[in-house]
Structure 1
């Protein structure tokens, strides 16, 4: 009698900590990320080695692919919850990704572009959907959202770890067809998990849910039409990457103007302040992501050609080196969540602008040390692997302080009806940064057609150093502005209000912690 009762009490306490549906989204995140991680880490290598493209064309296609992927999250925020439910759009996206992987598996440049277009028709829209499905589980000022996103971000990086690992293995064996077919299977698992948890993932407080049955039918047709038309449009944009990048920058500037206008028109002062804080933090994050997105482009080629990748007699694939990032994120996400909870229980608030400034400083140092490593290169021009190891660790820790925290920030700062739009714009920032990364990668590659590190090290060293010190300067400036931005986010006020409202339940939290430790 007492044992089932105790079990029920523990489950109830668990639900007080994390809402139903969070665990399902964690699993879905793992498998939905796998195929993107394969393309993210392997596309430029497949284009240059598998399809014999030149470096400039391969970099342009990779840069446009990454930029479009993140840029389309803005469209995902608009379509999802309005013309299709978040869960429906996510499922449709998984189907599109399966088709894309199947097309990419055909070793032909035309099939590659069609496959990338179909894949982007899914991945570009559904990331915003899964983030909104997580966000809608919480109230605006609920700090548990931050922990949920940290756990979800760890789940995403488990998917990256699997994708990078198999991507590196098949890359070393030049078995690209098998690699992309396996990626399609990962998407099918994510689709099956979505259908299994369909009822748990229903929309809450969205225009689509509030519409009548007839309106929902019409909206579904419009949403499906948008997705199909998008694939054909993407095929054309991938064919003309220069125009594609210019278009993204123009739309990005227009969206910035729109968000500024919406901020000015907010009826209340607190809402206006929060949106201005969002704008400042979004602009500062462009610098971080411009450096971070060098990993699948210029930094990937640098590691492939200019770094001694032999370790204990084993040749390490470039994709495996990116797993340094995933290990840090997988382990660091939950640890950071626990640390934040521990500090807040003791009245220590770690503000969002502080975390952003720290992220900029860390990624700046990560790139600033690479020229030092290059200066100690071997007689053949190969840089020691340890410099790359330290650089990736610093980048990864910086990512923890800006990416999952950024998702939680949108839920905290965005008005309810603008949440999808602002989540999409937040993801779009990474796409704009990817365009800058494309240009920086071409600068790093230099004008020479040689791949000999003795000829290319100087260009890489100059570019990495310039970018690293620029990020350090930006991080220092944001650190100085922390008091101003923190007042705009109103974090301290929200924390004090939550502390007052939750004080009667502190005993429950202590009991849950004791039960967890005892288990």
Structure 2
């Protein structure tokens, strides 16, 4: 006999449901900037393609890199819910400034927006992960659902961005971006008590210490804005600095792992570091979507399907559709496989995601080889590439967030969650480097640029497949480090 619907949903931890909707609306502003920044910079502000790709790379690096800082601030200086709402207010101000339409306002707007988005995304993930015990089998499903909610926000953002892109109405586009941020703030305030932190260092602080930490956290938020404003105007030096910081964080994590005295936890930390290297390859290719791949789509692909003109941002909705439709289906399918004793675990998913990413880039190479007389590639090849990349994302991204709760010792969870996101920021810089390799001068044709694109896509595709195969060979080692043989892990997650 089936359980009544309320009984099914009563098993969801308090706050997990509302976080789905908070995630969805908070994503709108980022979706607009992520999909439109390069086009806005090249078409409206007249930046050259290489400079626009570099700014996009720095944008991604700060957005994801600051997640590490957010993971440290949240729960220590400001509660996760306070930091989230404060960050969303900064995002509203940032999108409003960019709507002004000048290069100077772009830099101030990005500084405001990145301070907010960089710090508060970790807060959402920490608010969700705190609601599950370390071995709770519902954790992976909750993150898959939350990831689907985020991609609903991306779908809406990309769709609206494409609509305004066709008419070049950037002012209204960036004003629209503020709306989702405002709704996310309203939801967080409406469910304020439900979203309270659970077991964070800040909760143990004395009233006086709490006030001092609050003041320090607010000062950090205020000070980051002018700092980012300055760094965004010097993207070349900033890129080198961010890569150096990332290397420093990697060394610090290795030292932390070597010195950790609890042996089972130390082994899981080594597994985390190995999987992080694999994810760096994946995200470096994935982050080419809003820069190099978007410029390739505009200049070298027939952006038309069944007689309908396709805005560049709409192409990225292929990704969101695969995530939104595939996320819940994948969660249900994995649960069924594990119930039947079929071993589906994190190392397998990471390896498969890298192979899929590589095949996605090789599909572009094949499409270029079949281009028409003008060098234009049929849209089906670009669409196929995005589908393959998105299937890989389903395998690596949600489970990547969820695995932090299992692999990271509790005292390091915030820092390791932030470090995981920092990898995506570093990958954004590498994506800018790759995109810059094929930046074409104004007036170049598809025929003249196709050889450079084909060479780059082939190298990146084969490289990703090779790393995926290497992870396949390392699956037994990774399973030993994680501390669960596949059958045991399957039973634990069923």
Q: How does 1:115-514 map to 2 (within 5 A)?
A: 115-446=109-440, 448-492=441-485, 495=488, 499=492
- Aligned-residue offset at 1:315: 1.1
- Aligned-residue offset at 1:484: 0.2
C-alpha spacing 1:309/1:252, structure 2 compared with 1 (3 Å): same
Q: Describe the SS at the equivalent of 2:46.
A: coil
- Aligned-residue offset at 1:13: 4.6
TM-score computed with the length of structure 2 as normaliser: 0.97
Question: In angstroms, what is the RMSD of aligned CA positions?
Answer: 1.6
- Aligned-residue offset at 1:55: 1.1
Give, in whole Å, the separation in 2 of the partners of 1:468 and 1:56.
Answer: 22
Q: Does 1:15 align with 2:10?
A: yes
Task: Tell me, yes or no, if the aligned pair for 2:347 and 2:471 is still in contact at 8 Å.
Answer: yes
Task: Tell me, yes or no, if the aligned pair for 1:445 and 1:459 is still in contact at 8 Å.
Answer: no
Task: Tell me, yes or no, if the aligned pair for 2:155 and 2:320 is still in contact at 8 Å.
Answer: yes
Give, in whole Å, the separation in 1 of the partners of 2:298 and 2:333.
Answer: 36
C-alpha spacing 1:451/1:162, structure 2 compared with 1 (3 Å): farther
Cα deviations by residue, 1:402-421 (Å, 9 ceiling, x for unpaired): 00010001111011111000
Give, in whole Å, the separation in 1 of the partners of 2:282 and 2:181.
Answer: 29
Give, in whole Å, the separation in 1 of the partners of 2:194 and 2:455.
Answer: 51
Q: Describe the SS at the equivalent of 1:139.
A: coil
- Aligned-residue offset at 1:458: 1.0
Which residue of the partner structure matches residue 509 of structure 1?
A: none
C-alpha spacing 1:318/1:493, structure 2 compared with 1 (3 Å): closer
- Aligned-residue offset at 1:496: 6.0
Give, in whole Å, the separation in 1 of the partners of 2:379 and 2:473.
Answer: 35
Task: Tell me, yes or no, if the aligned pair for 1:365 and 1:472 is still in contact at 8 Å.
Answer: yes
- Aligned-residue offset at 1:498: 7.0
TM-score computed with the length of structure 1 as normaliser: 0.92
Give, in whole Å, the separation in 2 of the partners of 1:131 and 1:227.
Answer: 20
Give, in whole Å, the separation in 2 of the partners of 1:160 and 1:13.
Answer: 28
The runs of 5 or more residues in structure 1 that have no matched partner are 1-5, 507-519
The runs of 5 or more residues in structure 2 that have no matched partner are none
- Aligned-residue offset at 1:200: 0.8
Give, in whole Å, the separation in 1 of the partners of 2:122 and 2:450.
Answer: 38
Q: Describe the SS at the equivalent of 1:379.
A: coil
Task: Tell me, yes or no, if the aligned pair for 1:307 and 1:385 is still in contact at 8 Å.
Answer: yes
C-alpha spacing 1:342/1:494, structure 2 compared with 1 (3 Å): closer
Cα deviations by residue, 1:367-391 (Å, 9 ceiling, x for unpaired): 0121110111111111000001110
Task: Tell me, yes or no, if the aligned pair for 1:141 and 1:494 is still in contact at 8 Å.
Answer: no
Give, in whole Å, the separation in 1 of the partners of 2:488 and 2:470.
Answer: 26
Which residue of the partner structure matches residue 107 of structure 1?
A: 101
Task: Tell me, yes or no, if the aligned pair for 2:282 and 2:464 is still in contact at 8 Å.
Answer: yes
Give, in whole Å, the separation in 1 of the partners of 2:487 and 2:242.
Answer: 36
Q: Describe the SS at the equivalent of 2:438.
A: helix
C-alpha spacing 1:494/1:457, structure 2 compared with 1 (3 Å): same
Task: Tell me, yes or no, if the aligned pair for 2:358 and 2:460 is still in contact at 8 Å.
Answer: yes
Moved more, 344-353 or 191-200: 344-353
Which residue of the partner structure matches residue 48 of structure 2?
A: 54
